[in-house]
A and B are shown apart, each in its own frame.
Chain A
Amino acid sequence: MSTTTTTTTTARAVSGPMVDVREVRKHFGHIEVLKSVDLAVQPGEVCCLLGRSGSGKSTLLRCINQLESIDAGEIFVAGERIGYEEKRGKLHPLSDRAVARQRRSIGMVFQRFNLFSHMTALDNIIESPTGVLRTSRSTAKARALELLDRVGLADRADHYPRQLSGGQQQRVAIARALAMDPAVMLFDEPTSALDPELVGDVLGVMRDLAADGMTMVVVTHEIGFAREVADTVVFLDGGEVVERGAASEVLTAPEHASTQAFLSRVLREEA
């Protein structure tokens, strides 16, 4: 893993939480996937969302950058209301353009990497900085190479995604999100689609990122990572937060029955 970190990610100066989710509700058809969820993530905090599949943790993450719309509640990132604007005492949905603008400062890493398959690793990283932020190609390229070095893939700049292993693709995807200089990074089960021996490299990059002070919201099944890196964990079940608190406390002494059941099951699988 690269240790030559030339760029340090420091938490943005925000008063109050970096991510502030208040009483968010979300339905898919008749199914209520989020039932009035609250979540506050402070600048520089690493927050892990845990829970069984179908508990709503991925949906909650996708609501934060508006990949899913919400039915009720409010979401703020870096103090800015996401998806809506308040005018004359009413909330109006933002235009597509404004939503796209808000997403620039919210990095996201997907379970299935989603690298653009027709572009090299380097082109994947510079696409949005040059196209959306209008950074000059040379500046974007220099920064991209720096980021590739940071995730340990400096020699893979000209490789297409299909020429990279899953772990390498995911690290490129992390570099791609970082190239936008986001205020917060969202990770949606970033290691779930990886072969076990490739998980460590990706978690290593995320660990470095956390150490640099990046605000991170991570949906994961990696209890070991949560215990080691996360500041707080939030445990969801059936679309509700059933337990939350400091990672060290919740993971060692869970209070809620479903948290206990989940942890013992996951730990048994890991053993």
Chain B
Amino acid sequence: MTLVYRPGDSVAHRLDPRSKFAVQASFVVAAFVYTTPGGLVWLTALTGVLMAAADTSPIATIGELRYLAPFLVGAPVLQGLTLGTPWFVVADAVPPALASYRILLVLFVSAAYVRTTPVRASRAAIQRTVPGRFGRFLGVGVALVFRFLPLLQRDLARIRDAQRARLGRQRSIRDRARLLAVAGFNRAFRRADRLALALQARCFAWNPTLPPLRLGRRDLPALALAVGLSAAALYGAI
């Protein structure tokens, strides 16, 4: 299972998407400023609190991020290696190791956002934050990407199944990639043409009605945290 929204009633579920986004963004900035052992201890504790507030399991999140492991472990190892004795310099490997750990924390916090924020709310937040037609384009486009991603994934999986059933695995990688790409793009464009027709038939407009968003009293702690993290980052950077 990949990182997706799960309905629930945790503290984070009840927050406005904009305040959660503010916490996330300020956390990233603070993590970049305080990439020291001491700073990372505090940020680890904060990550724990945020994940608990979002009812998100760190172990399940690690499982979903395992494909990043070669990069996270590889960077410090590669930096520590030297040609000639002593072959591995621990001091060289420490900064990249801290950086890798920082990335892990940032990924945890963003996983908590993704788990607790429905797409409709994110779309409304985008459209209300980014003004004008550009914001509306982003809002509509992002909603369409969410809608069509599973369909196109299924299209591609079907194409690969069909290839496999016809002994496609015995072809060269070049042929397999070409055939998958041709069929994938053709289906996507056919869907796009049908979608455009359907949108026109339904009076596709620049000014549709959006779900209400409300920044309320319960968002205050989150906003305060975002301001605090930003202030700490600013203080540390000066």
A binds B: no
* Chain A residues near B (Cβ < 8 Å): none
* Chain B residues near A (Cβ < 8 Å): none
